[in-house]
């Protein structure tokens, strides 16, 4: 149901990618909007130029209470917490607060497959998009990956399938958002620097199912206890995926085979060995993608062909190089402890792990046993180094790096032929890098320089 925006005063909070996309969307429709951002002008030069060209109003360097008090609708960008005092005051005053995802969903045409989870979102979203596209479906991919959902509205039709990656932040303030197929890959501790508790973080993820009805589908990880507990409250048709156990409805990988169960019929889709991605967690991601694609009506044979040809997404257990028999993998997107745990599981032994960055409230002791079994040494980098050193003392030898280039050189010095140097930091990147992509590119550049010199 579209919103009646005629004559309304709209405030958009945050001038990052999604906030700017919302402003563009509403400006094209002649809606009066104001953007509000607490960053200084020096950090927003390109955004300010774009807004000035369109005569769109904005305030920077802080949020004025008066601006929010006069708003008819407030659209909150995912990077802005709803706990912000000015937003709390607006909510208490009865103002309507929605996310960019909610606004987009009121205008988006066609069907929606939405994917969330602590880890694996981009790989699974990309794979589902490729499967649908190859099968001839009109498909567009966006959300937390690439293009904001609001920017996909214009290109959507009644036949379009929008495959949307969603973060927990984007799933806040979504009172009516209803995907036809909703997928949660896993829920493990993350972003505890933003949420008051793990339960609050988990609930944001579970909002993806909140507005579904009996004709919709929910796809859940059978091995996640949080999702097992949540399943009873879901109103849509529940399908499971598992890398360990058979399920009655959904997809599972047992005995080296991946099988889809419709509830009435069993289909062998492909062999586990035909999945080109490393790690058991990627078998689960593939199983989730198979389930969503089958529910969308794609034949198993077409799905299997796409999976066999699928390449690792950049910064997600991405093979980088082999130098002197030492393999280098870039998993810069491992920004939490659980992601690093899953990356480590993909290697039997001989791992030199580059670990660290900005702490997100993670418990690094979770890695202890696996490190003792599979890690040869740890190279620490960034703000969280002292905490990591304290929590993981005795698990493996540790060295401290001053830069990514230094970390790669130290790791290579400690490696022998057959070993693996793995960047899987278990932390955010913002202490030393612009984002995880920048961190991953710096790792690959450092490996490239090492490849040229070959020096230990």
Q: What is the pLDDT of residues 200-242, one digit of tens each?
A: 999 999 999 999 999 999 999 999 999 999 999 999 999 999 9
Which pTM was predicted? Answer: 0.85
Task: Report whether pLDDT(55) > 80.
Answer: yes
Confidence of residue 278 (pLDDT cuts 50, 70, 90): confident
Question: Which of 330, 326, 306, 310 shows the shortest CA–CA distance to 318?
Answer: 330
Confidence of residue 251 (pLDDT cuts 50, 70, 90): very high
> Residue 43 gets which letter from DSSP?
G
Confidence of residue 257 (pLDDT cuts 50, 70, 90): very high
Task: Report whether pLDDT(456) > 80.
Answer: no
Task: Report whether pLDDT(1) > 80.
Answer: no
Mean per-residue pLDDT for 283-302? 97
Known catalytic membership, residue 406: no
The pLDDT of residue 455 is 65
Token pair for 289: 């993608």
The pLDDT of residue 454 is 65
Known catalytic membership, residue 315: no
Q: In terms of DSSP bridges, do strands 375-380 and 351-355 run parallel, antiparallel, or are they unpaired?
A: parallel
Task: Report whether pLDDT(357) > 70.
Answer: yes
Question: Which of 217, 185, 209, 189 shows the shortest CA–CA distance to 115?
Answer: 185
The active-site residue out of 119, 180, 186, 191 is 191
**Mean confidence (pLDDT) of the chain:** 95
Confidence of residue 146 (pLDDT cuts 50, 70, 90): confident
Phi, psi of 241 (to 5 degrees): -135, 150
Mean per-residue pLDDT for 252-259? 96
Task: Report whether pLDDT(339) > 70.
Answer: yes
The active-site residue out of 119, 144, 207, 221 is 144
Q: What residues have CB less than 8 Å from 207, skipping those under 6 apart?
A: 171, 172, 174, 177
Q: What residues have CB less than 8 Å from 196, skipping those under 6 apart?
A: none
The pLDDT of residue 117 is 96
Known catalytic membership, residue 121: yes
Please report, rounded to a whole number, the percentage of residues in the chain having pLDDT higher than 70. 99
Question: Which of 139, 273, 120 shows the shortest CA–CA distance to 205?
Answer: 120
Q: Would you tell me the crossing angle of helices 45-54 and 17-28 to the nearest 10 degrees?
A: 0
State CA 373 to chain mean position distance: 28
The active-site residue out of 121, 222, 376, 444 is 121
Mean per-residue pLDDT for 360-379? 96
Q: What residues have CB less than 8 Å from 373, skipping those under 6 apart?
A: 349
Mean per-residue pLDDT for 149-163? 98
Integer angstrom CA distances of residue 74 from 15, 209, 293:
13, 23, 35
Least confident of 112-121, 248-257, 276-285: 276-285
List, in order of start, the domains of the chain with CATH numbers: 9-94 (3.40.50.720), 102-308 (3.40.1190.10), 318-453 (3.90.190.20)
């Amino acid at each position: 149901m579209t919103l009646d925006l005629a004559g309304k005063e709209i405030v958009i909070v945050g001038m990052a990618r999604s906030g700017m996309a919302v402003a563009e969307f509403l400006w094209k429709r002649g809606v009066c909007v104001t953007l509000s951002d607490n960053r200084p002008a020096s950090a927003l030069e390109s955004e300010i130029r774009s807004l000035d060209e369109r005569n769109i109003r904005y305030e920077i360097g802080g949020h004025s209470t008066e601006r929010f008090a006069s708003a008819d609708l407030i659209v909150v960008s995912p990077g802005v917490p709803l706990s912000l005092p000015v937003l709390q005051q607006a909510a208490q005053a009865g103002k309507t607060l929605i996310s960019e995802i909610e606004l987009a969903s009121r205008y988006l045409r066609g069907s929606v497959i939405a994917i969330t989870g602590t880890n694996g979102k981009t790989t699974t979203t990309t794979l589902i998009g490729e499967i649908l596209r190859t099968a001839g479906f009109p498909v567009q991919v966006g959300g937390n990956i690439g293009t904001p959902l609001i920017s996909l509205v214009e290109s959507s039709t009644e036949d379009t399938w929008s495959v949307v990656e969603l973060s927990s932040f984007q799933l806040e303030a979504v009172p009516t958002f209803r995907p036809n197929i909703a997928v949660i890959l896993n829920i493990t501790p993350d972003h505890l620097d933003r949420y008051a508790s793990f339960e609050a973080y988990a609930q944001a993820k579970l909002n993806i199912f909140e507005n579904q009805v009996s004709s919709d589908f929910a796809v859940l990880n059978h091995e996640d206890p949080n999702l097992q507990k949540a399943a009873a409250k879901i109103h849509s048709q529940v399908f499971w995926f598992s890398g360990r156990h058979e399920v009655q409805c959904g997809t599972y990988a047992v005995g080296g085979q991946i099988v889809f169960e419709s509830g009435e019929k069993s289909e062998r889709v492909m062999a586990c060995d035909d999945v080109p991605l490393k790690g058991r967690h990627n078998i689960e991601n593939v199983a989730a993608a198979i389930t969503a694609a089958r529910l969308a009506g794609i034949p198993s044979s077409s799905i299997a062909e796409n999976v066999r040809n699928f390449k690792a997404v950049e910064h997600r257990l991405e093979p980088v190089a082999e130098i002197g028999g030492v393999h280098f993998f870039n998993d810069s997107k491992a920004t939490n402890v659980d992601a690093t745990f899953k990356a480590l599981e993909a290697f039997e032994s001989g791992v030199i792990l580059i670990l660290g960055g900005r702490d997100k409230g993670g418990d690094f002791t979770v890695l202890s046993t696996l490190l003792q079994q599979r890690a040869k040494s740890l190279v620490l980098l960034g703000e969280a180094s002292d905490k990591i050193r304290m929590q993981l003392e005795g698990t493996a030898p540790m060295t401290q790096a001053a830069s990514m280039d230094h970390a790669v050189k130290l790791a290579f010095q400690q490696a022998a032929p057959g070993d693996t140097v793995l960047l899987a930091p278990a932390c955010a990147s913002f202490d030393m890098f612009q984002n995880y992509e920048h961190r991953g590119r710096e790792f690959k550049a450092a490996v490239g320089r090492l490849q040229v010199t070959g020096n230990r």
